[in-house]
Amino acid sequence: MTQTKTRSRRESVGRHTLIRGDALNVLRRMPAASVDVAVTSPPYNIGLAYRSYRDRRTENDYLDWMADICAQVARVLKPGGSFFLNIAGSSSQPWLPFELMVRLRDIFVLQNHITWIKSVAIDDITHGHFKPVNSPRYVNRNHEHVFHLTHHGDVPVQRLAAGVPFTDKSNIARRNHAVDRRCRGDTWFIPYETVQTRKQKFLHPGTFPVALPTACLTLHGIDAQSVLLDPFMGTGTSLLAAEEMGIRGIGVEIDTRYVAVARERLREKISAQKTSS
């Protein structure tokens, strides 16, 4: 399928803005320094079957495009903002995420490099889910990258809010901690929910769990005025996290049907929140 070149279309769903359009065009029109946190998972250039986007560019074309996108994210990000870029390589393109990071060195500082663990075997028990790699050469890919990019590498992060309680409570008094919490570190185990059908995955080949953008927003820290941006919104998962946390989200997606899924998911979430409050 070819990429859509039509004009963008914007709509409001609750406090959020959904834009059906091309990320680069939309970002170029956004005001500078208007976003607190950008969280996104772009196409990885691994041939996933998206509806309107062909996920198979030449490597250089892909890297040039992503560098242009990220330069625009830098422009719209506030001075103290955070950009969480979730991406993974593949067995045939293992260097791609790292090559992209090298290209971004002139634009951003890599403040934290978080590994999103989708599945892990502890002793003989497997936790979480992964797509099996059927190969005599490669092991299954159970993790992805979350690159935390900032303008100058000096954005304070909410280590404890995003952290975990101590397992050994004696640490609290021995090490003089004010609260029963410590930093979670740079490995985040966030499994997908178990699903049986493609419909439960919103008929989209590459979504992330709501808990991932939630963890990013928690680590950066937000207030009621904070604005989240996801330039590759897909089915609207980042905006669901924004809604749960009471902030405004702006999502851009090239495919009309994925925008419709995002709209529906958001409406359901907003009405569920109203019912429970």
Ligand X SMILES: C[S@@+](CC[C@H](N)C(=O)[O-])C[C@H]1O[C@@H](n2cnc3c(N)ncnc32)[C@H](O)[C@@H]1O
Give contact residues for ligand X (rule: CB under 6 A). Answer: 22-23, 41-43, 50, 52-53, 204, 206-208, 232, 234-235, 237, 252-255, 258
Residues 6+ apart with CB under 8 A from 137: 91
Closer to ligand X at the Cβ: 38 or 151?
38
Closer to ligand X at the Cβ: 81 or 251?
251
Closer to ligand X at the Cβ: 164 or 203?
203
Phi-psi region of 254 (alpha: psi -120 to 50; beta: other; left: phi over 0): alpha
CA–CA distance, 245 with 247 (Å, rounded to integer): 6
- By Cβ distance, which residue is nearest to ligand X? 234
CA–CA distance, 252 with 239 (Å, rounded to integer): 10
Minimum gap (Å) between residue 175 Cβ and ligand X: 38
Six-digit token pair at 194? 């178990």
Token look-up 């769903």 returns 13
Minimum gap (Å) between residue 8 Cβ and ligand X: 9
Minimum gap (Å) between residue 204 Cβ and ligand X: 5
Closer to ligand X at the Cβ: 243 or 253?
253
Minimum gap (Å) between residue 228 Cβ and ligand X: 12
| DSSP reduced 3-state for 74 | helix
Q: Position 19: which residue type?
A: I
